[in-house]
Amino acid sequence: MTIKELQTDMNCRAVWNGWEDREVTGAYTSDLLSDVMARSEEGQVLITIQAHKNTVAVAVLKDLSGIITASNRPVPDDMIETARDEEIPVFVTDNNQYETGWRLHELGGF
């Protein structure tokens, strides 16, 4: 599935627009950034409630395809700015991390 399909299918809101579409190869859920650093894989989308700019830094360094902040976490402005600069899509969803992961599994088959 691509990140655009993910956005439509999961019905989540992008915090900034204009990113390039890209392939999503899987998902990883964690709120511990060093864990994301250690165990996430290139192309995965990160499901987290850790909504700040350090999360963007980690996602970019690990070549993740995007970030979904779950449980409707407020996304601070400087996180949006950093995401825009780094051109990484960030979405907000009302669902919690479990629900988000479960739906992604249903829709994306991973």
What is the residue whose two structure tokens read 């993910």?
6
Beta-bridge mates of residue 94: none
Least Å distance, CB 85 to other proteins, is: 10
Among 52, 73, 84, 103, interactor with other proteins by CB under 8 A: 52
Q: Which two tokens stand for residue 49?
A: 């409630």
Among 2, 8, 11, 54, interactor with other proteins by CB under 8 A: 54
Between residue 32 and residue 51, which ones bind other proteins under the rule CB under 8 A?
32-35, 37-38, 42, 50
C-alpha separations of 19 from 14, 22, 78, 88, 109 in Å? 10, 9, 17, 7, 24
Q: Which one, 11 or 54, has the nearer CB to other proteins?
A: 54
Question: Judged by CB under 8 A, does residue 80 bind other proteins?
Answer: no
Strands of the 26-29 sheet, one edge to the other: 13-14, 90-92, 66-69, 44-48, 26-29
Task: Select the span of 5-13, 18-26, 57-65, 102-110 touching other proteins (CB under 8 A).
Answer: 57-65
DSSP letter for 20, please.
P
Q: Which residues are at the interface with other proteins (CB under 8 A)?
A: 31-35, 37-38, 42, 50, 52-55, 57-58, 60-63, 86
